[in-house]
Amino acid sequence: MSDSIASLTLSSVVLPLETPVSDAKVLTGRQRPLTEVVLLFVEVTTADGLQGTGFSYSKRAGGPSQYAHLREIAEVALGQDPSDIAKIYDSLLWAGASVGRSGVATQAIAALDVALYDLKARRAGLPLAKLLGAHRDSCRVYNTSGGFLQASVAEIMEKATASLEAGIGGIKIKVGQPDWRTDLERVAAVREHLGATPMMVDANQQWDRARARRMCRELEAFDLVWIEEPLDAWDATGHADLSRTFDTPIATGEMLTSVPEHMALLDAGYRGIVQPDAPRIGGITPFLKFATLAAHAGLALAPHYAMEIHLHLAAAYPTEPWVEHFEWLNPLFEERVDIRDGRMWLPERPGLGFTLSPRMRELTVETAHFGAPRR
């Protein structure tokens, strides 16, 4: 007899950052510095006593909306077989059909979707990557958190050195200064400091097409692994044109919130690096759908943020990916990722391989419980 979902617990968590960070969107006046991350956690328990945990997140806005939407529709999952992940996903989509199938609507479902995959792998006694069918036991890893624009070049160099000494394999820094010459000066200084270490830059969507072409041409000299989001995230044609014009790969996709939005890149003839984000695209279910299509198109993969989830998904991608290292979420989990020799290694623990910390409970601002009473 099949198992069933007996209860769900939703938690809204507000995680403050030690230091506010700024990227190009702040310097252009479009956003305020980032001071906190709001997360939606879902804990699933089945009638047989199995458990799984997943999360989604939002920066600057959307966290309370994700929580509110899932709170409205979560009961639909009760009583369903937790192995029927695709069926449950569709039932949640239909329960909230009036708000669409992208953005907050699917980012809310993502937390539950991730939890069901975590549960399924835990039940099998396997790390999630092994359940999906891993191609490797580790992935190349790069650090972003030390390269934001509020940091001086000296601070970036100091943090980059510390990251490399801690086993990180590549360094990404932000660009998109109001004066493009400042960008080139900063990139040149950091490149000289790093030597042959793999290096990436990220403009966070703040160039128009003319400026992006000029900057990509100037940046060719620095032997970068990629130039990220040179254009508006939804400018699929522009990104595709840049990816076919320059030798340095173009990377984009982190802001897109559905498979169709990602597919617009492929339809436009994009030849760069795709950066889907499982919580943003709507969960592991849609992430895997797009990853299959991206692999078929021969595209490289570098998932955005949420390394606790993306390490597993990257390990299951056919070609060698990069995983982004952010230590911001560390306080929420008991375990730490294993980083050495420029790579992030899969945990041997089942599921995602992480358990929630007491600090996560302390940072919880709202909870909702559905189904059987909590034990």
Which residues of the chain does CATH 3.30.390.10 include?
5-125+357-371
Asked if 131 and 100 touch (Cβ cutoff 8 Å), the reply is no
The mean pLDDT of 188-198, rounded to a whole number, is: 96
pLDDT tens column, 243-292: 999 999 999 999 999 999 999 999 999 999 999 999 999 999 999 999 99
Q: Which residues are part of a known binding site for Mg(2+)?
A: 202, 228, 254
pLDDT of residue 78 exceeding 90: yes
Asked if 352 and 130 touch (Cβ cutoff 8 Å), the reply is no
pLDDT at 372: 80
Token pair for 322? 């990069």
d(CA 293, CA 78): 32
Catalytic residues: 174, 304
pLDDT at 295: 97
pLDDT at 236: 97
Give the pLDDT band (50/70/90) at residue 214: very high
d(CA 248, CA 171): 16
pLDDT at 34: 77
pLDDT at 9: 97
DSSP category for residue 348: S
Asked if 282 and 102 touch (Cβ cutoff 8 Å), the reply is yes
The percent of residues above 90 in pLDDT, for the chain, comes to 83
Asked: is 129-345 a CATH 3.50.50.60 domain? The reply is: no
Asked if 187 and 173 touch (Cβ cutoff 8 Å), the reply is yes
| CA 106 to chain CA centroid, nearest Å | 15
d(CA 343, CA 325): 10
Give the pLDDT band (50/70/90) at residue 59: confident
CA distances from 105 to 187, 243, 278, 335 (A): 38, 31, 14, 30
Q: Which residues are part of a known binding site for substrate?
A: 23-25, 59-60, 172, 204, 324
pLDDT at 29: 77
pLDDT of residue 2 exceeding 90: no
pLDDT of residue 1 exceeding 60: no
d(CA 35, CA 327): 15
Number of Cβ within a 10 Å radius of residue 189: 15
Asked if 55 and 42 touch (Cβ cutoff 8 Å), the reply is yes
pLDDT tens column, 119-158: 999 999 999 999 999 999 999 999 987 778 888 999 999 9
Enter the pTM of the model. 0.94
Q: Which residues are part of a known binding site?
A: 23-25, 59-60, 172, 202, 204, 228, 254, 324
Which residues of the chain does CATH 3.20.20.120 include?
129-345
pLDDT of residue 33 exceeding 90: no
Give the pLDDT band (50/70/90) at residue 335: very high
- CATH architecture of the domain 5-125+357-371 equals 2-Layer Sandwich (3.30)
pLDDT of residue 374 exceeding 70: no
What does the mean pLDDT of the chain come to? 94
pLDDT of residue 27 exceeding 80: no
